[in-house]
């Protein structure tokens, strides 16, 4: 009898060891085989015309992998900073509350959640805590009432304070700021909020901004998001808020790379001319760019204009090498990836024309278009409506021409939308709505920041 019991015990022990070994091995396998960020370096033409020196466009693309299924995603430390000033009264505040609850319900118990509301004063109504006591938090959110001024800076500062309570841990830190009005308490210049964003990103905190209606300051919201590497959104009515919050949270819950740094090294005979759209630094033959975070399956890229030297037909040249370093939030380890681009030189113009990389040309044109939109805003702000319209129309014409040449629907669609926008501005002047659309779209284009 005792022997039988002993046999059963042994079998159970073996099964348990096998079971544990299987899961440990699966975790180790998952962690070690987790896909890396892929770095691709492309030029606008793979075959360049032989002859004198020329400018070409380099596109450095980072393809983020999907979030691994078998590893727990990195926890999120989310702070919602909601405007409860008088102008939010009605649908906006109700939808903002619904959006906040929507965001909360998407979090897991390992995540941290806080809610700060601001009018002329700032109050933390849900201090940073695990998103476990959902019903209690929902009750608190439901009690938000609108009224007062707009202390936006104070609101973001308070949100950051809540985030900092868990700053040491390996969370994905994110503030989502919602506002529908002009900040009238605290620093309110776009530069000031940009500086706040630049300081917050040094702590790993990104701020995504959601502007509701047509009365908020889109420059301020875009600058804050840009400097802290967050997303920026414009929603005309409160009804879109839950959707936007859900999309934003989709991004935050899907971070696959943090502290992304790209270094592009050029050969001695190639010179960097310009960085298109993004901010970066050119140190001799090195170009440095920071992209902060990558979301699962997202493609982020940088465009650099470089000058290649005089070349002979048939020669081959290394154009650039890109090294990407980032922190993998799933393993908390630093990872690297790299890519290179070579160019062939040919005297055959047909070969050169056939080697066009439409994707690179398209993204380059779209980025130029984003810059044109920003110039149009500046011109319009200075009262130069005609020049602003001209700028937009010229950009639309270029987009249309290139779109037709390569039969690219996206470019043609963008050109049509821009033409409509330009005509509206020509007829009615730069409306608040047009300005917000232009600012938000140009930002999203330049930084590829848009909820998936």
Partner 1 sequence: MTNKRSIIIFWALFLVPTLIVAAVAFRLLSHEQDRLHRSAQAALTQQAKTLSETIHLTIEDVQQNLTLSLLALEQKQIKSRLVQWEHTNPLVRNVFIYTKEQGLEYPLDGMASTKEERLFAVRYDALFSGRTSFDFNREGRQEISRTGTGLKKEIRADSYGSIEDDIEKSSRKTLVALSRVRQKPLAESLDAIQADQQVVKFKEKSGWIPWFNENRLYILGWVQKKENDPVYGVELELMTLLSRLVADFPKLEGKNAALVMMDGSGMFMHQSGALNVDSGQSPLAAVAVSNLLPHWRMAVFVDSKSFSGAKGFLYLSVILLGILICAIISGGVMLTRMALQNQKDARKKISFVSSVSHELKTPLTSIRMYAELLSSGRVKDTDKSRSYLSVIVDESHRLTRLINNVLDFGRLEQGKKKYHPTRFELDRFLKHMIEAHTIRIEKQGMEIKIQISKGDFAVRTDKDALEQVVLNLLDNALKYAGDGKFIQFVLEKEGPFTSLKICDNGPGIPKEQREKIFEKFHRVDDSLGANQPGSGLGLSIARQILQDLGGDLFFEPMPGNGSCFTARIQNYETH
Distance CA 53, CA 360 (A): 20
Minimal CA–CA distance to 302: which of 322, 318, 326? 322
Q: Is 187 in the site for partner 1 (CB under 8 A)?
A: yes
Nearer to partner 1 (CB atom), residue 191 or residue 354: 191
Nearer to partner 1 (CB atom), residue 116 or residue 172: 116
Distance CA 48, CA 394 (A): 27
Q: Is 267 in the site for partner 1 (CB under 8 A)?
A: no
Which of these segments, 138-146, 153-161, 342-350, 437-445, binds partner 1 (CB under 8 A)?
A: 153-161
Cα torsion 295, 410, 219, 245: sign? negative
Which of these segments, 64-72, 115-123, 250-258, 435-443, binds partner 1 (CB under 8 A)?
A: 115-123
DSSP characters over 70-111: SSPPPPEEEEEEEE-SGGGTTHHHHHHHHHHHHHHHHS-TTS
Least spacing, CB of residue 179 vs partner 1, in Å = 16
6-35 binders of partner 1 (CB under 8 A) = none
The torsion angles phi and psi of 426, rounded to 5 degrees, stand at -60, -40
| The binder of partner 1 chosen from 160, 270, 344, 438 (CB under 8 A) | 160
| Structural contact between residues 320 and 306, judged by C-beta atoms closer than 8 angstroms | yes
Which of these segments, 25-33, 196-204, 291-299, 412-420, binds partner 1 (CB under 8 A)?
A: 196-204
- State how beta strands 299-308 and 54-63 pair: antiparallel
Residue 376: HSE in the Cβ half-sphere, 13 Å Cα cutoff: 33
Return all residues near 184 (Cβ < 8 A) that are at least 6 apart: 149, 150
Q: Is 157 in the site for partner 1 (CB under 8 A)?
A: yes
Q: Is 57 in the site for partner 1 (CB under 8 A)?
A: no
DSSP E strands in 330-451: the ranges are 333-346
Q: Is 230 in the site for partner 1 (CB under 8 A)?
A: no
| The binder of partner 1 chosen from 178, 200, 249, 438 (CB under 8 A) | 200
Least spacing, CB of residue 199 vs partner 1, in Å = 4
Least spacing, CB of residue 10 vs partner 1, in Å = 54
Q: Is 317 in the site for partner 1 (CB under 8 A)?
A: no
| The binder of partner 1 chosen from 93, 104, 272, 319 (CB under 8 A) | 272
Annotate 410-431 with b (16+ C-beta within 10 A) or e (fewer). Answer: ebbebbeebbebbebbeeeebe
Q: Is 198 in the site for partner 1 (CB under 8 A)?
A: yes
The three-class DSSP label of residue 370 is helix
| The binder of partner 1 chosen from 126, 131, 151, 207 (CB under 8 A) | 151
Strand order from edge to edge, sheet including 47-49? 47-49, 333-346, 316-328, 255-265, 286-295, 280-283
Q: Is 120 in the site for partner 1 (CB under 8 A)?
A: yes
| The binder of partner 1 chosen from 161, 182, 317, 398 (CB under 8 A) | 161
Q: Is 284 in the site for partner 1 (CB under 8 A)?
A: yes
Nearer to partner 1 (CB atom), residue 104 or residue 289: 289
Residue 147: HSE in the Cβ half-sphere, 13 Å Cα cutoff: 3
| The binder of partner 1 chosen from 75, 148, 211, 238 (CB under 8 A) | 148
Q: Is 121 in the site for partner 1 (CB under 8 A)?
A: yes
- State how beta strands 271-276 and 205-212 pair: unpaired
Binding site for partner 1 (CB under 8 A): 119-122, 148-149, 151, 153-154, 156-158, 160-161, 164, 184-188, 192-193, 195-196, 198-200, 202-203, 272, 274-275, 279-284
């Amino acid at each position: 009898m005792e022997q039988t019991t002993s046999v059963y015990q042994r079998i159970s022990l073996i099964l348990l060891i096998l079971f544990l070994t299987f899961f440990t091995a699966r975790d180790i396998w998952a962690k070690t085989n987790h896909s890396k960020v892929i770095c691709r370096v492309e030029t606008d033409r793979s075959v360049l015309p032989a002859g004198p020196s020329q400018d070409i466009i380099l596109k450095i693309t980072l393809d983020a992998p999907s979030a691994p299924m078998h590893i727990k995603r990195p926890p999120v430390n989310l702070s919602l900073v909601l405007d409860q000033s008088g102008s939010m009264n009605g649908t906006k505040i109700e939808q903002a509350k619904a959006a906040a609850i929507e965001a909360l319900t998407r979090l897991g118990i390992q995540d941290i959640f806080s809610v700060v509301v601001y009018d002329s004063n700032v109050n933390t109504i849900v201090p940073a805590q695990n998103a476990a006591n959902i019903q209690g938090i929902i009750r608190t959110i439901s009690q938000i009432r609108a009224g007062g001024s707009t202390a936006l800076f104070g609101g973001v500062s308070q949100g950051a304070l809540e985030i900092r309570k868990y700053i040491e841990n390996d969370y994905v830190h994110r503030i989502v700021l919602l506002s529908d009005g002009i900040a009238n308490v605290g620093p309110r210049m776009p530069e000031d909020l940009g500086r706040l964003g630049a300081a917050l990103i040094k702590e790993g905190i990104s701020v995504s901004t959601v502007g509701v209606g047509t009365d908020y300051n889109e420059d301020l919201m875009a600058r804050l998001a840009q400097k802290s590497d967050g997303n920026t959104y414009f929603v005309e009515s409160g009804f879109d808020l839950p959707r936007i919050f859900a999309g934003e949270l989709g991004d935050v819950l899907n971070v696959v790379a943090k502290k992304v740094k790209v270094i592009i090294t050029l050969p001695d005979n190639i010179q960097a001319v310009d960085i298109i759209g993004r901010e970066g630094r050119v140190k001799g033959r090195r170009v440095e760019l920071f992209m902060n975070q990558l979301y699962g399956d997202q493609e982020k890229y940088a465009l650099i204009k470089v000058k290649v030297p005089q070349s002979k037909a048939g020669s081959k040249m290394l154009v650039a090498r890109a090294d990407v370093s980032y922190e993998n939030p799933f393993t908390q380890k630093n990872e690297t990836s790299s890519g290179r681009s070579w160019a062939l030189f040919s005297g055959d113009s047909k070969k050169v024309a056939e080697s066009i990389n439409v994707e690179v040309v398209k993204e380059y044109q779209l980025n130029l278009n984003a810059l044109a939109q920003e110039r149009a805003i500046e011109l319009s702000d200075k009262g130069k409506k005609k020049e602003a319209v001209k700028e937009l129309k010229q950009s639309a014409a270029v987009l249309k021409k290139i779109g037709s040449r390569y039969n690219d629907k996206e470019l043609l669609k963008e050109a049509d939308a821009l033409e409509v926008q330009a005509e509206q501005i020509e007829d009615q002047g730069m409306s608040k709505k047009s300005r917000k659309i232009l600012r938000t779209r140009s930002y999203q284009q330049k930084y590829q920041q848009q909820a998936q």
